[in-house]
Amino acid sequence: MADGGPPPRCAVLGATGFVGRALVADLAAAGHPVQVLSRTAEHGFPHRIGVTLGDATDPRALETVCDGADVVFHLMHSLAHADFAGRDRVIAQRLAAAAAAAGVRQLVFLGGPRPTAATSPHLASRSEVAGILLDGEVPAIALQASMVLGRGSAGVELLSRTARLPVRPRPGWTARRSRPVALADVRHYLRAAAGHPPLRGRFDVSGPETISYDGLVRRCARLLRRPAALTLPSPFWSHETAARIAGLTSPVPATVAGPLFASLEHDLLPADTPAESVLAPPLGGPTSLDNALRTALGVPVPQAPAGPAYQEEYTRLAQAGPHRLWRAITALGGDHGRFPPAPAWALRGLLDGLLGGAGAYRGRPDRPVTGDVVDFWTVRRRDDTHRELVLAADMRLPGDAELTLRADPAGTGSLLWQRVRFAPASPLGHAYWHLQKPAHNQVFAWLARSIVRDAERGT
């Protein structure tokens, strides 16, 4: 397609998985003729999708699905089988042979990060499959992702179940780090590979944030608006134990959960060439971790309610220009940009935690965008053109609270415009607004002074 010709013909193995179904829909929407391999006629694909019935270990089925294909996507993983490594090895060997015999132009494999030391059987198997395809006659690329965050994935199901627990064990292996990536970004790179001239190599597909598994669970709980859980150090809580419990309490079988948890014994960080160095990155950059989780969990960005609301506006002149003031506004949150006055917010966070709210959570991505979490706020809207940031309070309140911050030009300096808006949800909300107003006037005036001071200092 890069030369303006017809869209390449594509074949997909693993088309019924959560990544596969999304990719098949994307390819079909882009005009690619698509053939998939399915073990059952109850696959649910529309009539325009060609279906080859058969098992991926069957050479004849592989020959049939590869016949006439320009690009073959290998998205399968046999975790549900006891001998998943052996089964996946056979599939990779037979697929490489069938693709070569059919004259396939490109193989695209979606796997995990390359192991750098002793690793789990799951990761070792993923790397072995990549190696088999890369050593084959047909040019192959291995897109390597540590964890794909998308609706329907076993990993997200385990995350959401764990995040809902009021008491959570915290074994040492949950401190291992990874770079989770949004399903939308994985889909983008898979589509890009379909239209790219043949490539060969390992390319890492990573999200923008490095985070531990425990941190990922807490971020998930934060987006689900779950009360802060009691976490207990659990040195004897093995991944086998976690898998058995997951098998009993979630739709994810223990045979699948076990290898996934075992992979958490190691950091899952990118070690090869970034995919964006050879394939065009997503428009607008990678999806933020919070927005990847929101989509995977089905949690929308909170919207301001319609109807009457109380509001207070504050303005403050700054000697710094609007760009520096905007930088100070967007640096709020986290350990290094704490909302001033810090003691007041810490006390409010403690009270909120006691009420079952977001509590004293402190965290933010490097560049918060709409949908991201910033301490106990959610970014409702970010407008870099007009330098306006709208934050929705996630604290337990009898109504909806919103904070808007804007940096406007003003002569040689700038003007900070700040608005606090509160839409009461009940008669208690009206009383709350009037009772807290004197204290809030002081807090938000302090916040405005602090933002201007940081801008003038150039921090």
Q: What is the rounded CA–CA span in Å between residue 130 and residue 202?
A: 8
Contact yes or no for 180/291 (Cβ under 8 A)? no
pLDDT at 82: 84
CATH node for 10-150+170-211+234-289 = 3.40.50.720
CATH node for 310-457 = 3.30.530.20
Return the closest-CA partner of residue 355 out of 225, 198, 456.
225
pLDDT at 3: 57
Contact yes or no for 452/325 (Cβ under 8 A)? yes
What is the DSSP code (8-state) at residue 76? -
Q: What is the rounded CA–CA span in Å between residue 299 and residue 420?
A: 25
- Convert the pLDDT of each residue in 243-268 to its tens digit: 899 998 899 989 888 888 888 888 99
Taking only Cα atoms into account, the Rg of the chain, rounded to an integer number of angstroms, comes to: 25
Full DSSP string of 84-135: HHHHHHHHHHHHHHHHHHHT-SEEEEEE-PPP-SS--HHHHHHHHHHHHHHT
Q: What is the rounded CA–CA span in Å between residue 245 and residue 168?
A: 13
Name 446's Cβ contacts closer than 8 Å, sequence gap at least 6.
340, 341, 344
Contact yes or no for 38/101 (Cβ under 8 A)? no
Contact yes or no for 110/19 (Cβ under 8 A)? yes
Domain extents in the chain: 10-150+170-211+234-289, 310-457
Q: Which residues of the chain fall short of a pLDDT of 70? A: 1-4, 117-118, 459
pLDDT at 334: 87
pLDDT at 117: 67
* Residue 272, amino acid: D
pLDDT at 362: 79
pLDDT at 156: 96
For the chain, the residue count is 459
